[in-house]
Amino acid sequence: MSKNIEIIVNYKKHPLSDYKYQLKCENILKNKSVLILKNFLNRDALIQIQNEALSLQNKAFYCKQNHTILLNKKDKKKDINDPLNIEVISDKGCVPHDLILQNSYLNTLYKSIDFKKFLIKVLNVKNIYPYKDKLSSINYNYYQFKQQLGWHFDNASFAITLLIQSPEKGGIFEYINEGRDYKNNYINKRFIKDVLKNKVKTKNIKANEGTLILFFGRNYLHRVTKVESLKPRILVTLNYNEEKNIELSENARLTFFGRK
């Protein structure tokens, strides 16, 4: 199998190594905090990754969690009406990196120098590194019938996802790009309370299978609505760190993958 990234990525539409294209993407991400690259994967590569996702599905570890929008546990001693103390539910399945074949297109893409250089420029970071542990760098995520991800802000500064399979109904990525400025330690609780009460009109991302999404999830309240079809929503997260030798904590690994 060739390791050429042009076999995987639709270079005609997304010329990752072209400086002008990089600048354009960097500006969109800077201004909108989200970059959506539709038809990022070539058709054959998408089909191959979809097949891999389906063949690994029975190995997924499913976890259901109650958490606050800052991904903490609810504090029973604190005000239960405080929007930072309201619980939401997340449940999905996860296949960790060590179950993905060495020669998977996902590994080729993840390790590709061209892809890394593109990400570094667009995210405006010094460098990016894989996780030190063997589970966290690339994950398949499965949202089965009635599964969802509750409203939250990410802990990581950026997120990179590839939509692999859309459900027939539900499983929509919704977001609000107001209400928090992580750097300045600002959070608009009243506004967020209205979001949690479904009083605010949310935006959603219309991604199709093969779409790459980059976003700054620390300032973005986001969720995935319940999947309403038997066909699951399948998403890959490509996880990098700005520093070397970072591990996902053992606790988090036990929670999301069921093992260390």
Ligand X SMILES: O=C(O)CCC(=O)C(=O)O
Q: Interface with ligand X by CB under 6 A: which residues?
A: 141, 149, 154, 161, 173, 222, 224, 235, 237
CA atoms within 13 A on the CB side of 18: 9
Kindly tell me which of 210 and 217 has the beta carbon lying closer to Fe ion. Answer: 217
Kindly tell me which of 154 and 194 has the beta carbon lying closer to Fe ion. Answer: 154
With binding defined as CB under 5 A, does residue 217 bind Fe ion? Answer: yes
| DSSP state letter for 241 | B
Which of ligand X, Fe ion, none binds 114 (CB below 5-8 Å, type-dependent)? none
Nearest to 98 by CA among 65, 61, 64: 61
Which of Fe ion, ligand X, none binds 161 (CB below 5-8 Å, type-dependent)? ligand X
Per-residue x/- marks for Fe ion, 81-120, CB under 5 A?
Answer: ----------------------------------------
Backbone angles phi, psi at 104, to 5 degrees: -65, 145
Kindly tell me which of 130 and 217 has the beta carbon lying closer to Fe ion. Answer: 217
How far, in Å, CA of 175 to CA of 241, rounded?
23
Nearest to 213 by CA among 53, 96, 38, 50: 38
End-to-end Cα spacing for the chain: 31
Quick one: which segment of 94-102, 171-179, 216-224, 240-248 binds Fe ion (CB under 5 A)?
Answer: 216-224
Kindly tell me which of 7 and 205 has the beta carbon lying closer to ligand X. Answer: 205
How far, in Å, CA of 77 to CA of 96, rounded?
35
How far, in Å, CA of 203 to CA of 36, rounded?
14
Angle, alpha carbons 246-247-250 (nearest 5°): 160
| Residue 160: CB minimum distance to Fe ion, A | 11
Quick one: which segment of 20-28, 119-127, 205-213, 215-223 binds Fe ion (CB under 5 A)?
Answer: 215-223
With binding defined as CB under 5 A, does residue 154 bind Fe ion? Answer: yes
Kindly tell me which of 5 and 235 has the beta carbon lying closer to ligand X. Answer: 235
Name residues whose C-beta falls within 8 Å of residue 187's C-beta, 6 or more positions apart in sequence: 84, 179, 180, 181
Kindly tell me which of 7 and 252 has the beta carbon lying closer to ligand X. Answer: 252
Q: What residue has token string 């405080």? A: 82
Which of Fe ion, ligand X, none binds 104 (CB below 5-8 Å, type-dependent)? none
| Residue 228: CB minimum distance to ligand X, A | 15
| DSSP state letter for 81 | T
What residues make contact with Fe ion under the rule CB under 5 A? 154, 217
